[in-house]
Protein backbone atom coordinates (compact mmCIF):
# COMPACT_ATOMS: atom_id res chain seq x y z
CA UNK A 1 0.00 0.00 0.00
CA UNK A 2 0.95 3.61 -0.25
CA UNK A 3 1.70 5.87 2.66
CA UNK A 4 0.33 9.38 2.43
CA UNK A 5 2.70 12.15 3.40
CA UNK A 6 1.48 14.31 6.26
CA UNK A 7 0.13 17.69 5.21
CA UNK A 8 2.77 20.39 5.09
CA UNK A 9 2.59 23.18 7.64
CA UNK A 10 3.63 26.64 6.57
CA UNK A 11 5.38 28.76 9.17
CA UNK A 12 6.61 32.30 9.45
CA UNK A 13 9.40 33.62 11.64
CA UNK A 14 10.05 37.20 12.75
CA UNK A 15 13.38 37.75 14.48
CA UNK A 16 13.87 40.53 16.99
CA UNK A 17 15.93 42.52 14.48
CA UNK A 18 14.31 43.39 11.16
CA UNK A 19 16.58 42.70 8.17
CA UNK A 20 15.09 44.91 5.44
CA UNK A 21 16.63 46.38 2.30
CA UNK A 22 16.74 50.15 2.92
CA UNK A 23 16.91 50.89 -0.82
CA UNK A 24 13.54 49.26 -1.52
CA UNK A 25 10.19 50.88 -0.89
CA UNK A 26 7.62 49.31 1.39
CA UNK A 27 5.51 48.38 -1.65
CA UNK A 28 8.48 46.75 -3.39
CA UNK A 29 9.37 44.81 -0.24
CA UNK A 30 5.85 43.42 0.12
CA UNK A 31 5.68 42.58 -3.61
CA UNK A 32 9.02 40.74 -3.45
CA UNK A 33 7.95 38.63 -0.48
CA UNK A 34 4.58 37.92 -2.06
CA UNK A 35 6.45 36.50 -5.06
CA UNK A 36 8.83 34.52 -2.84
CA UNK A 37 5.83 33.02 -1.04
CA UNK A 38 4.41 32.07 -4.46
CA UNK A 39 1.20 33.94 -3.92
CA UNK A 40 -0.62 33.86 -7.29
CA UNK A 41 -0.18 37.03 -9.34
CA UNK A 42 -3.93 37.46 -9.56
CA UNK A 43 -4.17 37.76 -5.76
CA UNK A 44 -0.98 39.61 -4.86
CA UNK A 45 -2.23 43.18 -5.20
CA UNK A 46 -5.34 42.56 -3.09
CA UNK A 47 -3.37 40.73 -0.37
CA UNK A 48 -0.73 43.47 -0.22
CA UNK A 49 -3.41 46.13 0.15
CA UNK A 50 -5.10 44.14 2.91
CA UNK A 51 -1.88 43.51 4.84
CA UNK A 52 -0.69 47.11 4.46
CA UNK A 53 -4.04 48.37 5.77
CA UNK A 54 -4.06 46.05 8.78
CA UNK A 55 -0.53 47.05 9.76
CA UNK A 56 -1.05 50.78 9.22
CA UNK A 57 1.47 50.94 6.38
CA UNK A 58 -0.66 52.13 3.44
CA UNK A 59 0.50 55.77 3.33
CA UNK A 60 4.14 54.72 3.80
CA UNK A 61 4.35 52.13 1.00
CA UNK A 62 5.78 54.50 -1.67
CA UNK A 63 8.67 55.55 0.59
CA UNK A 64 12.06 53.87 0.80
CA UNK A 65 12.54 51.72 3.89
CA UNK A 66 15.64 53.82 4.66
CA UNK A 67 13.29 56.61 5.69
CA UNK A 68 11.14 54.47 7.97
CA UNK A 69 11.19 54.94 11.73
CA UNK A 70 12.07 51.97 13.92
CA UNK A 71 8.39 51.35 14.61
CA UNK A 72 7.48 51.37 10.91
CA UNK A 73 10.33 48.97 10.13
CA UNK A 74 8.99 46.66 12.81
CA UNK A 75 5.47 46.81 11.38
CA UNK A 76 6.73 46.09 7.87
CA UNK A 77 8.86 43.21 9.15
CA UNK A 78 5.84 41.62 10.85
CA UNK A 79 3.61 42.30 7.82
CA UNK A 80 5.98 40.19 5.70
CA UNK A 81 5.47 37.27 8.10
CA UNK A 82 1.68 37.65 7.98
CA UNK A 83 1.69 37.93 4.17
CA UNK A 84 1.45 34.23 3.39
CA UNK A 85 -1.01 33.44 6.24
CA UNK A 86 1.19 30.66 7.70
CA UNK A 87 -0.23 28.00 10.02
CA UNK A 88 2.53 28.62 12.58
CA UNK A 89 3.98 31.98 13.54
CA UNK A 90 7.22 32.25 15.55
CA UNK A 91 7.68 35.79 16.88
CA UNK A 92 10.67 37.02 18.88
CA UNK A 93 9.75 40.15 20.87
CA UNK A 94 7.26 41.26 18.18
CA UNK A 95 6.33 44.52 19.94
CA UNK A 96 9.90 45.71 20.61
CA UNK A 97 10.35 49.30 19.47
CA UNK A 98 6.64 49.94 18.94
CA UNK A 99 4.59 52.72 20.52
CA UNK A 100 1.56 51.77 22.67
CA UNK A 101 -0.80 51.86 19.66
CA UNK A 102 1.55 49.61 17.68
CA UNK A 103 1.89 47.14 20.55
CA UNK A 104 -1.88 46.97 20.96
CA UNK A 105 -2.28 46.38 17.21
CA UNK A 106 0.21 43.50 17.10
CA UNK A 107 -1.35 41.74 20.08
CA UNK A 108 -4.76 42.19 18.47
CA UNK A 109 -3.49 40.56 15.27
CA UNK A 110 -1.89 37.74 17.26
CA UNK A 111 -5.18 37.07 19.07
CA UNK A 112 -7.07 37.19 15.77
CA UNK A 113 -4.72 34.65 14.16
CA UNK A 114 -5.08 32.30 17.13
CA UNK A 115 -8.87 32.67 17.07
CA UNK A 116 -8.84 31.54 13.43
CA UNK A 117 -7.08 28.31 14.37
CA UNK A 118 -3.47 29.32 13.77
CA UNK A 119 -0.67 28.74 16.26
CA UNK A 120 1.44 31.66 17.43
CA UNK A 121 4.56 31.19 19.56
CA UNK A 122 5.76 34.44 21.10
CA UNK A 123 8.98 35.11 23.01
CA UNK A 124 8.32 38.22 25.07
CA UNK A 125 8.81 39.98 28.38
CA UNK A 126 5.37 41.61 28.20
CA UNK A 127 3.74 39.43 30.85
CA UNK A 128 0.63 41.59 31.11
CA UNK A 129 -0.26 40.94 27.48
CA UNK A 130 0.76 37.30 27.80
CA UNK A 131 -1.70 36.83 30.64
CA UNK A 132 -4.40 38.56 28.61
CA UNK A 133 -3.94 36.81 25.26
CA UNK A 134 -1.99 33.54 25.54
CA UNK A 135 -3.51 30.12 26.19
CA UNK A 136 -0.27 28.49 27.28
CA UNK A 137 2.86 29.91 28.89
CA UNK A 138 6.35 28.55 29.48
CA UNK A 139 8.36 30.65 31.93
CA UNK A 140 12.09 30.40 31.29
CA UNK A 141 14.90 31.59 33.53
CA UNK A 142 18.58 30.97 32.69
CA UNK A 143 17.62 28.23 30.25
CA UNK A 144 15.38 26.39 32.73
CA UNK A 145 11.63 25.88 32.32
CA UNK A 146 10.16 27.03 35.63
CA UNK A 147 6.48 26.60 34.76
CA UNK A 148 4.34 25.41 31.87
CA UNK A 149 0.58 25.76 31.57
CA UNK A 150 -2.33 28.19 31.22
CA UNK A 151 -1.33 31.67 32.46
CA UNK A 152 -4.20 31.94 34.95
CA UNK A 153 -3.22 28.59 36.48
CA UNK A 154 0.45 29.58 36.77
CA UNK A 155 -0.44 32.94 38.28
CA UNK A 156 -2.85 31.40 40.79
CA UNK A 157 -0.41 28.68 41.80
CA UNK A 158 2.78 30.72 42.10
CA UNK A 159 1.95 34.42 42.56
CA UNK A 160 1.78 35.66 46.13
CA UNK A 161 0.59 38.93 47.64
CA UNK A 162 1.78 42.04 45.81
CA UNK A 163 1.75 45.75 46.44
CA UNK A 164 1.76 48.43 43.76
CA UNK A 165 2.85 51.82 45.06
CA UNK A 166 2.35 55.01 43.09
CA UNK A 167 5.03 57.62 43.78
CA UNK A 168 4.38 61.35 43.60
CA UNK A 169 7.34 61.69 41.21
CA UNK A 170 9.44 59.34 39.09
CA UNK A 171 12.77 58.54 40.79
CA UNK A 172 16.10 59.35 39.21
CA UNK A 173 17.77 56.29 40.77
CA UNK A 174 15.50 53.26 40.51
CA UNK A 175 18.25 50.92 41.71
CA UNK A 176 18.47 52.72 45.06
CA UNK A 177 14.74 52.25 45.62
CA UNK A 178 14.87 48.57 44.68
CA UNK A 179 17.83 47.92 46.97
CA UNK A 180 16.25 49.74 49.93
CA UNK A 181 12.92 47.90 49.70
CA UNK A 182 14.44 44.50 48.83
CA UNK A 183 16.38 44.57 52.12
CA UNK A 184 13.17 44.60 54.18
CA UNK A 185 11.91 41.48 55.96
CA UNK A 186 8.89 39.96 54.24
CA UNK A 187 9.79 41.36 50.79
CA UNK A 188 10.66 38.81 48.11
CA UNK A 189 11.00 40.97 44.99
CA UNK A 190 10.92 44.61 43.91
CA UNK A 191 10.51 46.27 40.50
CA UNK A 192 10.59 50.02 39.96
CA UNK A 193 9.19 51.26 36.65
CA UNK A 194 8.75 54.95 36.13
CA UNK A 195 6.77 56.32 39.06
CA UNK A 196 5.45 52.91 40.18
CA UNK A 197 7.03 50.37 42.52
CA UNK A 198 5.80 46.75 42.52
CA UNK A 199 6.62 44.76 45.66
CA UNK A 200 6.11 41.01 46.14
CA UNK A 201 5.63 40.04 49.78
CA UNK A 202 5.93 36.70 51.54
CA UNK A 203 2.63 34.99 52.48
CA UNK A 204 1.49 36.12 55.91
CA UNK A 205 3.82 39.12 56.05
CA UNK A 206 2.60 42.72 56.11
CA UNK A 207 5.60 44.99 55.52
CA UNK A 208 3.43 47.80 54.12
CA UNK A 209 4.42 50.48 56.63
CA UNK A 210 8.08 49.48 56.37
CA UNK A 211 7.99 49.75 52.57
CA UNK A 212 6.48 53.23 52.73
CA UNK A 213 9.10 54.23 55.32
CA UNK A 214 11.92 52.84 53.17
CA UNK A 215 10.68 54.81 50.19
CA UNK A 216 10.46 57.93 52.32
CA UNK A 217 14.06 57.27 53.35
CA UNK A 218 15.07 57.48 49.70
CA UNK A 219 13.25 60.79 49.37
CA UNK A 220 10.05 59.56 47.72
CA UNK A 221 6.46 59.93 48.86
CA UNK A 222 3.72 57.38 48.12
CA UNK A 223 0.39 58.70 46.84
CA UNK A 224 -1.55 55.45 46.28
CA UNK A 225 -1.12 51.82 47.40
CA UNK A 226 -2.89 48.98 45.57
CA UNK A 227 -2.91 45.31 46.56
CA UNK A 228 -2.77 42.69 43.80
CA UNK A 229 -2.37 38.95 43.48
CA UNK A 230 -2.57 36.16 40.92
CA UNK A 231 -0.71 37.96 38.16
CA UNK A 232 1.88 36.39 35.87
CA UNK A 233 4.62 38.89 36.63
CA UNK A 234 4.42 38.10 40.34
CA UNK A 235 4.54 34.39 39.53
CA UNK A 236 7.65 34.85 37.40
CA UNK A 237 9.63 36.64 40.09
CA UNK A 238 8.60 34.13 42.74
CA UNK A 239 9.60 31.24 40.49
CA UNK A 240 12.89 32.91 39.55
CA UNK A 241 13.61 33.19 43.25
CA UNK A 242 15.44 36.51 43.26
CA UNK A 243 14.52 40.17 43.40
CA UNK A 244 15.26 42.49 40.50
CA UNK A 245 18.16 44.00 42.38
CA UNK A 246 19.91 40.61 42.26
CA UNK A 247 18.92 39.98 38.64
CA UNK A 248 20.85 43.04 37.49
CA UNK A 249 24.11 41.17 37.97
CA UNK A 250 23.12 38.76 35.19
CA UNK A 251 23.50 34.99 34.98
- Whether the CB-CB separation of 212 and 174 falls below 8 Å is answered with no
**How far is residue 194's CA from residue 82's CA, in Å, rounded to a whole number?**
34
**Would you say the pTM of this structure is higher than 0.85?**
no
| Three-point CA angle 103, 178, 185, nearest 5° | 125
CA angle 131, 134, 136 (to 5 degrees): 100
Per-residue tens of pLDDT for the chain, all 251 residues: 444 544 445 788 888 887 899 999 999 999 999 999 899 999 999 999 999 999 999 999 999 999 999 999 999 999 999 998 888 999 999 998 898 899 999 999 999 988 888 899 999 988 889 988 999 999 988 888 989 999 988 888 877 677 889 999 888 888 888 999 999 998 888 888 888 898 888 777 778 899 999 999 999 999 988 887 677 887 887 787 554 434 333 43
Query: Which is nearest to 184 in space by CA: 219, 217, 152, 158?
Result: 217
Longest distance between any two alpha carbons in the chain, whole Å: 80
Answer for the pair 76, 33: CB distance below 8 angstroms, yes or no. Answer: no
Residue 122 exposed, middle or buried by CB count within 10 Å (0-12, 13-18, 19+)? buried
Degrees, nearest 5: CA angle 87-18-86: 10
DSSP 66: G
- CB neighbours of 189 closer than 8 A, spacing ≥ 6? 182, 199, 200, 234, 237, 238, 242, 243, 244
Amino acid sequence: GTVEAPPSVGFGYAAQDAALDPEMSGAETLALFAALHRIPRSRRAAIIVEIATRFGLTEHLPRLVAGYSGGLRRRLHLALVWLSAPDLLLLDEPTAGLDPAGRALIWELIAERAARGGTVVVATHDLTQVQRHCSRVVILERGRALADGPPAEIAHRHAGPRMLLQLTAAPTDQHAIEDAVAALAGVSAVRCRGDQVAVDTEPGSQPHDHVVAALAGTGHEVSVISFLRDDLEGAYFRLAGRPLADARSGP
